[in-house]
Structure 1
Amino acid sequence: MADPDLNLLLALDALLAEGSVVMAARRLGLSESAMSRTLARLRDATGDPLLVRAGRGLVPTPRAILLRERVHDLADEVRSVLRPAAAVEVARLERTFTLRASESFIEVFAARLVSRVTAEAPGVLLRFAPRPDRDVQALRDGRIDLEIGAHAETAPELKVQALFRDRLVGAVRDGHPLLPGDAVTPDRYAACGHVVTSRSGRARDLADEALDALGLARRVVAVVPSFPAALAIVRASDLVTLASERQVASGIAGVTTFPLPLPMGEVTVTQMWHPRHDADPAHRWLRGQVLAACRGPGDGATDLPSAGGLRGD
């Protein structure tokens, strides 16, 4: 059996409410002849006359009277499903959002974001998931709501929005021999022992690429999975590590930072989400909260197209 035509449901609702082919046609923006043909289809579908002549007007049959309220409720439900979502009542929102972000982002921005969200939506739970890799399948599967980080590449269908720009700086212990004497040159920087932060255990990062371009190489002494671990080693040695400028902006006890003497540009940190969430009012609100938490004096935050040309908010 073929699926029923939902247009017939809306037409039946209009006919039973108006009790007139002419008035029902006007209500739906149809011609009188088109509505008459629709009534004929409804009679065939239901096996009942539905509306019958009584003098100059039409009256509903017993079956039509029984159907009237039910049909009206169903028609309202169809209209509700097919209209745009209503604005979310944030104060009454109860929902869990999962954000996958780097450790540095969580350290710098999580407290500010949680404070904003809790003030506006006390029923919302933010779950920060670790970021072991850059696989976008978790976004596609719906296991995470937002992916936050520096994304060199994205999947074509994903939505992307820039949050802020950042750059890497060097970090050493207070009183390190590299500072504050002569200017830190690429040769002096490369001559130091280095600590690399990598969850995957890779010993190479962006600094090696920049040194390669200058014909230089550095000696990596240790690879650790987190920035706090790298700092613990740096504080107790003459080794050097890399840090996000945002992460160390407020200062870290026992650590001095310095501009890298390498041709390394800024990185753009973005938030990325699957198109299934793009029009969801609650998800749009969350993305606005993330953007607001990341913004500060002098911060830029503009939309970036994804590989497929789709844009964020």
Structure 2
Amino acid sequence: MHAATTSTDSLLRLSLNDLLFLEALVRLESLKDAADEFGLTRASASRTLARLRAAAGEPLFVRSNPNLVPTPEARRLATAVRRLRLVARELSPPGAPEPLTLARHFTIGAGENATYAFCLPVIERLNTIAPRVSVSIEHFEPERLFELLQSGKLDIAFYPQEVLPPHFESAVLSSNNIVAMVRREHPLLALARERELTLGDLAAYPKIRVSSAVARPFDEDDESDFAPFYHACCASDVPSVPYFLSALELLSRSDALLSVAARTAEAALRRFSDCAILPIPPLGRRDYKVRAIWHRRLSRDPEFLWFKGVMAGVLKGD
């Protein structure tokens, strides 16, 4: 009796999403297919299955390649979850969206870094979980941002400041920093394998900058010892290109150094093998916060709140 009570208590501590994932696993008998249905990575899906097994106190599924065969307990729980889902729908506020059938267009205000590092993964997730939801990404003039959000020309935008005018709200969606990139065969990478790099080592090489990049978000007290190098990269007399992708191309063909947002650099390295992140401390001693802003008129819009939740989940790696 005590063991059964303990198992029940553990199951009650699971999130509704975890339980719905269990139902999908029972229905599909495939971790990959269930992960695709929920827009999860394979690693996230495996962690969810581990939580379910720990809470249930039993394996729940038996591997029978290529499928996962549900145990009787897993089938019993899945039946209960289907009933729970019906109750949850009755409790949901009117108009709560169903992702598979939701048809709506959202517009995100973003610069090139945010587009590359954050918006593209959001669109990729939406293509999987909400195929009828479409997204536009618009560049905006900073002085017009609040006007564009208020008028509805933008639904949400990336905005670094914490202080907002009346009628606007924001949320922290991720974190970032500033790092340096070089070509993969750069002499500094070979030197870094022998010893720690110094500011003097970096001074000997040319720099390039992306002219559309936003200003650095750090205060002097929060900057690393390599801050002079990062500031030098942003100087007005440094040769510039208008876009990050063209900067990557130039970087791969020269010994130049480029300072760039860390999440943008990481995203680039997943697709371009010609470049690398230089092993020096980033500009900030701590990461800075990546914020999104929207007009308060959308704060009770269930479809927008769902969309913002998808953005937050993707940016936090869920």
Q: So what's the TM-score if we normalise by structure 1?
A: 0.58
2:280 equivalent to 1:257: no
Cα–Cα, structure 1 residues 288 and 247, in superposed 2: closer, same or farther, change >3 Å?
same
2:116 equivalent to 1:107: yes
Q: Give the number of equivalent residue pairs.
A: 212
Partner of 1:141: 151
Partner of 1:87: 96
Q: How does 1:61-100 map to 2 (within 5 A)?
A: 85-100=94-109
Deviation at 1:205, TM superposition (A): 5.0
Paired amino acid for 2:182: V
Question: Per-residue displacement from partner, 1:163-207 (whole Å, max 9, x unpaired)?
Answer: 11111111111222322314222333344321111228x9x7569
Q: Of the two, which has the highest radius of gyration?
A: 1
2:229 equivalent to 1:229: no
Partner of 2:211: 198
Q: How does 1:293-308 map to 2 (within 5 A)?
A: 293-296=314-317
Find the aligned partners of 2:217 and 2:288 in 1 and give their Cα distance: 11
Which range moved further: 114-123 or 227-236? Answer: 114-123
Deviation at 1:137, TM superposition (A): 2.2
Does the Cα contact within 8 Å between 1:172 and 1:241 map onto a contact in 2? Answer: yes
Q: How does 1:119-268 map to 2 (within 5 A)?
A: 119-133=128-142, 135-151=145-161, 153-181=163-191, 182-199=195-212, 218=232, 220-249=237-266, 251=269, 252-261=272-281, 264=284, 265-268=286-289
Cα–Cα, structure 1 residues 119 and 214, in superposed 2: closer, same or farther, change >3 Å?
closer
Find the aligned partners of 1:155 and 1:122 in 2 and give their Cα distance: 35
Give the ranges of 4+ consecutive aligned residues of structure 1 lying more than 4 Å apart after TM superposition: 204-217
Structure 2 unaligned segments of length 5 or more: list them.
1-92
Structure 1 unaligned segments of length 5 or more: list them.
1-83, 298-313
2:279 equivalent to 1:270: no
Q: Percent identity?
A: 25
Does the Cα contact within 8 Å between 2:181 and 2:265 map onto a contact in 1? Answer: no
Deviation at 1:139, TM superposition (A): 1.1
RMSD (CA atoms):
3.3
